[in-house]
Amino acid sequence: MPRTPDTSVPVSPTSVELPTGGTVRPVTRWGEAVMHRKARPVTIYDDDLRVLVADLVATMYAADGVGLAACQIGVDLAVFVFDCPDADRVTHRGIVCNPEVEVPEGPDRRLDEDEEGCLSYPGAFVDCARPDFARVTGFGVDGSPVVFEGTGLLARCLQHETDHTLGTVFGDRLNNRARKRLRKQMEAAAPDYPADWPVGVSDE
């Protein structure tokens, strides 16, 4: 998901340190097969996984995103990274392999209608209703269990990125009219996003 202009300072105590030194890779777009099928689970927590996670982090930051899943750099593995503010503008950072998301059901379930976008469909944003709280469980880059939860954009991000590991893009959650609007915006913005974007984007 793309970052909103809102930059937050406080960091949640559950945050993990994201690796640095990764390589920025082109972002895979909707329509590529890897974006639309369930990803393979992570079973080996080794150096290759650490390199992949570092590349995800580097690419997320280069693309000015708040979250990025492995399929978005063309890799068929169920893992995502995020650096995202919650409703109180507290920043949460994490790595989740084999994510499972839980959202409130019944009387606790409240939908948040807010703008959503996807780095794999860049330059386009429409409202998408999502539960206003989410909890994700899974495993860190070393294979130990992790839990992340929260509100606001973070809740949206945890749901959006877990969806990616299941082969679902947020356009799949929209009605035809919203999807058309989204496509028009994406097409209008296309000149700003060459095929290898965000490779070569300078970090100012």
Active site residues: 161
Amino acid making up residue 137: T
Give phi and psi for 153, each to the nearest 5.
-60, -30
Nearer to Zn ion, 54 or 118 (CB): 118
Residue 17 beta carbon to Zn ion: minimum distance, rounded to whole angstroms? 23
Q: How many residues does the chain have?
A: 204
Q: CB neighbours (10 Å) of residue 22?
A: 22
CA–chain centroid gap for 133, Å, is 16
Residue at 178: amino acid letter: A
Residue list 112-141, contact with Zn ion (CB under 5 A): 118
State in angstroms the smallest separation of the CB of 21 from Zn ion. 24
Q: Tell me the sheet residues that pair with 146.
A: 138
**Per-residue tokens: 142:** 């070393």
Task: By CB under 5 A, tell whether 66 contacts Zn ion.
Answer: no
Q: Given the rule CB under 5 A, which of 19-27, 77-85, 111-119, 128-136 is the region that contacts Zn ion?
A: 111-119
Q: How far is the CB of 203 from Zn ion (least distance, A)?
A: 21
Q: Which residue is nearest to Zn ion (CB)?
A: 118
Q: Which positions touch Zn ion (CB under 5 A)?
A: 118
